[in-house]
Structure 1
Amino acid sequence: MVQAVEDLVPRPSSHRRIVQLLSKLGDLDIVCVKLQSEELTLADVRLLFDAVVVKYPVTASYLKADASIVHSPVFERAVVKVQGDRRLQVDEEAAVEPFLVVQPSSARQIKQVDFATATLRQAKKPRHASAQKYDELLSQLPPTSNRCERLFSQCKLILTPRRSSLLPANFEMLVFLRANRDLWSFTSLVGIDDAKKVVCARET
């Protein structure tokens, strides 16, 4: 019995590797939890992803800004720069052009001002990286990662070892109900059960 247990105990070198691995997994788990936040912006997600890529280069093929799984790298780059108030390149400006806010014409009454007044006014203007103004929707654009990470976490809670033999259709139904639990309640299920009983009674 003791010998059987001893075979399962890792050697000191293996134990050190396990501890290091757990530390790395802890870092990644914290990032995954942070990605589920509703307040997170696309720029915040890009910052987290870049930090993970620097620390764990093996993740670069999935987390880089130009990774193959990114649907629109140029658009994502443009949104990140708009949210960070940084200057856009030509291709990035073209990607977010539909969100460009047309400034109202200021040609109606232009007052003549002297050179000194014009200089002072120009100096007091906020110095943004880009002179273009974009729709506020672009600045508040949430990343898809927060909803996806939340869904994956819910899937992990549902697919416990005891439920590993669930049929895909049943698992999908449970995930759907859990993801949309704010749209239904216990009374909804009771109503469905009553409706089924009525249908069965009519059929008989």
Structure 2
Amino acid sequence: MVHRYHEHIKFLDADDDDIMELLPSPACNRRLETLYAELKDIESVSKALQANDITLLDVRVWFDGLIAAHPNFADYIGPRAPIVHSLISNRTVSVS
């Protein structure tokens, strides 16, 4: 839907006040375009994560790519993020 909005906005009559008062400002439109581009980056990784034949190395490479593009993601998907459990602290002893 956002994609279609950005495709069609250039065809709207900028002189029609009734239409223009309903639309976001040009500055807001630029911000929306930036956010949409960021979401497309995230969506591509999200879709790739749903494949059946991915490895943990693939996931780490994709996450590192997202972190390179958006450094604030490191708090959530970085190698030291709180969601990553330490293998050392999770070791258990199985007694047969």
TM-score by length of 1: 0.33
Instruction: Return 5+ residue gaps in structure 1 as ranges.
Output: 76-204
Q: Residue 27 of structure 1 corresponds to which residue in structure 2?
A: 41
Aligned residue type for 2:41: D
- 1:90-141 Cα shifts (integer Å, max 9, x gaps): xxxxxxxxxxxxxxxxxxxxxxxxxxxxxxxxxxxxxxxxxxxxxxxxxxxx
Q: Note if contact 1:66-1:73 (Cα within 8 Å) is conserved in structure 2.
A: no
Q: Residue 37 of structure 1 corresponds to which residue in structure 2?
A: 51
Instruction: Return 5+ residue gaps in structure 2 as ranges.
Output: 1-15, 90-96
The alignment covers a number of residue pairs equal to: 74
From 6, 24, 39, give the equivalent of 1:10: 24
Question: How far apart in 2 are the matches of 1:51 and 1:40?
Answer: 16
RMSD: 2.1
Q: Residue 74 of structure 2 corresponds to which residue in structure 1?
A: 60
Q: Residue 94 of structure 2 corresponds to which residue in structure 1?
A: none
Decide which structure has greater helix share: 1
Determine which structure has more spread, i.e. the larger CA radius of gyration.
1
Distance 1:3 1:65, change over 3 A: same
- Percent of pairs identical after alignment? 35
Q: Note if contact 1:35-1:45 (Cα within 8 Å) is conserved in structure 2.
A: yes
TM-score by length of 2: 0.67
Quote how far apart the aligned CAs of 1:62 are: 1.0
Higher relative contact order (CA 8 A, sep 6+): 1
